[in-house]
Structure 1
């Protein structure tokens, strides 16, 4: 296993200064996992990081909803959502665009639901 900082290369975020804590996620090599217990431990670590990322994404998406003139489900932007999925498909080609579209649709809908509470 090795630590790698997940980097949003190519993005510009003035609020994301280096002073903000970096999320370090161990990205295990599948070849290094020899047992079910090791693989499950790796999944647990990835899931923990994913939960933090999803929560932060929902917080930022809620802010977007407050800033847009039309928010919530009525304010969904299919072009923006396609661009998100396309960018993710470039980073994770083995998942494929269709799978990523389904995943991101669920993430976006859950985030919108959370923002309405």
Structure 2
């Protein structure tokens, strides 16, 4: 488990935020005001069942917010696709997503992350279709 803080800008307190893809320069993007700040507790600091469950509850709340926001952005991607609407998933892009995530979560591994992201993508597409 990581002992760090993640905020909505994609950075950590000691790391820069995401680069600006629109600039093409790799220069850091102007960070938006953080919408969510989540402390990632160290497993070693959790000594009781109640503490561990409270940590899970906090992480789950953050995941819910992130998943909802991801679904909204993914719905926009579907509308912006040149083929229009929900004309299809992009397996290459999905592999890129999973590969990038696997670098951040090596203990989960690529196969587990692929299954998780498949469910996330399908749920997001389903939610956007309503």
Instruction: Indicate the TM-score class for this superposition, using the shorter chain for normalisation.
Output: 0.7 to 0.9
Q: Residue 71 in 1 paired to residue 85 in 2? A: yes
Query: Which of 24, 36, 60 in structure 1 is aligned with 2:49?
Result: 36
Match of 2:6 in 1: 5
**Which structure has the higher relative contact order (CA within 8 Å, separation 6+)?**
1
Q: Residue 82 in 1 paired to residue 95 in 2? A: yes
Q: Counterpart of 1:71 in 2: which secondary structure? A: coil
By percentage of residues, which structure has more helix? 1
Q: Which runs of 5+ in 1 are unaligned?
A: none
Aligned residues: 114
Distance (whole Å) between structure 2 residues aligned to residue 99 and residue 31 of structure 1: 24
TM-score between both structures, scaled by the size of structure 1: 0.87
Distance (whole Å) between structure 2 residues aligned to residue 54 and residue 84 of structure 1: 15
Cα RMSD for the two superposed structures = 2.0
Match of 1:26 in 2: 39
Contact residue 25 and residue 49 of structure 1 kept, 8 A: yes
Q: Counterpart of 2:47 in 1: which secondary structure? A: coil
Match of 2:61 in 1: 48
TM-score between both structures, scaled by the size of structure 2: 0.79
